[in-house]
Chains A and B, each alone.
Chain A
Amino acid sequence: MTHTTEHAPTRAHPDRVHLDNGGRARWHPLARQAFLQAVDDGWADPRRLHTEGRRAAALLDGAREAVAGVLGARTEEVRFTHSHTTALHSAVLAAADGRRRAGGDVVVSTVERAAVLHAAHDAAATHGGRRVDVPVDRTGRVDPDAMADALASPGVALAALQHANGEVGTLQPVEDVHARALAAGVPLLVDAGASLGHVALPPSWDLLAADPADWGAPAGVGVLAARGRVRLVLRGPEDPEPWAPGGVSVPAAFAAAVGLQAVAADREAEDARRRALIDRVRATVATVPDVEVVGEPDARLPHVATFSFLYVDGEALLTELDRAGLAVGSGSACTASTLEPSHVLAAMGVLTHGNVRIALDRSTTEQDVDRFLAVLPGAVARVREMLGVGGL
């Protein structure tokens, strides 16, 4: 039995099936329990010297040590930040600044998270370099040779490559790229925001960022780890905690650590269970007419599936599914506040409209997936009918 089934809470909304768990998942029961415990025991300011403050500090230290244990890092190499986004921003800016004498260029894959792309742009601009974008193939995977060539060029301060892409599930060749980065003397930032807690993390990173909200812990805290050998220069107003000015929430950090230990403990069982469900989703969705199931079919996250339906308005499809009790994600422009579609789908050269993304949580059941697969084809057909696209 997994932690999930042992501790599964009664769903507050049993009629809803939530399949949009990438980057923000239902709290893991043990993370929730840890959070409540830390609200009682760790509410005080951990920088104060009284008993209550020291109790909070002990929870925070324990959390840091626990996260380091799962990452295979030393405790002092791990820092909590205010969010995953902040961790990415700080990692890029501080590592690029620390290596400004080597050059100003920052090498990234085109499917990195927007926070990495924007920070890389800013860091490069500050140090007179440029952001070097390395393209991906149709599955969203970067070519390790192209990445290696780019990062071995003169003037590169830093390279960034995600462990897996959270939008399409594709795993990146981080071990190969890290070996080449090491040979070139360029630090590699690995964004594990979509992968930590879902697949095994190789030790091939110099800087690493992770997202507790993705593994069922609270949002409002992020993880940044940096190997001791990496030179970091973080600019900003003086603060005793420069990576999280003012300090992080002790309950959030404690819950993040307990949640991470919980998902690490049942990771292999949950990988097998969810991979089998996603295999079924990919095979069944592929039988809907005019669909592109995107992302690497094998070397991928176990819990993510993404597909685009030709001639389908993504917003209309999401609304149709939501009405049927199913929450899903999308990278289509028609569903975002911006006009721009997902830069990941665009970089892969796949259809960006009519896009649906699902990410299964540990609490997602086989019945949930059955219900999704039963509803989806009819919903697609109705949306297409509204647009009158029969015969195209």
Chain B
Amino acid sequence: MIFIIFTYALAVIFLLFSFIKDRKKTKTGLKKAWKAFENILPQFLGIIVLVGILMAFLDPETISGLIGQSSGWVGTILAGLVGAVTLIPGFIAFPTAALLLKNDAGYMQIGAFVSSLMMVGVATFPVEKKYFGFKASLLRNIFALGFSFIVAFVLGWVCSL
């Protein structure tokens, strides 16, 4: 919450500065902001509906069932894949992860879940593709998923020390 306020404060301060310095330029800037938003709005809306569908199937209990019960590499890979297709805000994701931990899921699985949840975006792929094209978007997501398993491995190791 505090960071949302921070982002707003930043935007307002810059906007005021900009307005005092040059009204016309500020107007152009706001127009550009609106254009950029309007351009991507259809994709944003699509994602939001798609995420709704995905999360209806993958509610926290299902996620915890998938990740909590299977252990080892299979569990880690599963956790990474579940994280890749889900899109939940951090302030829900981390309490969910903490709950997983209480339910005896391993650090390695949780690490894979948290990392791929944040870095890999299957649901956001259409937006990414619109800016970076298919190849760059696909590669970024593949690298991010692979890296999530490295992170999981390190976390599993460090947290067991």
The judgment on whether A and B are partners is no
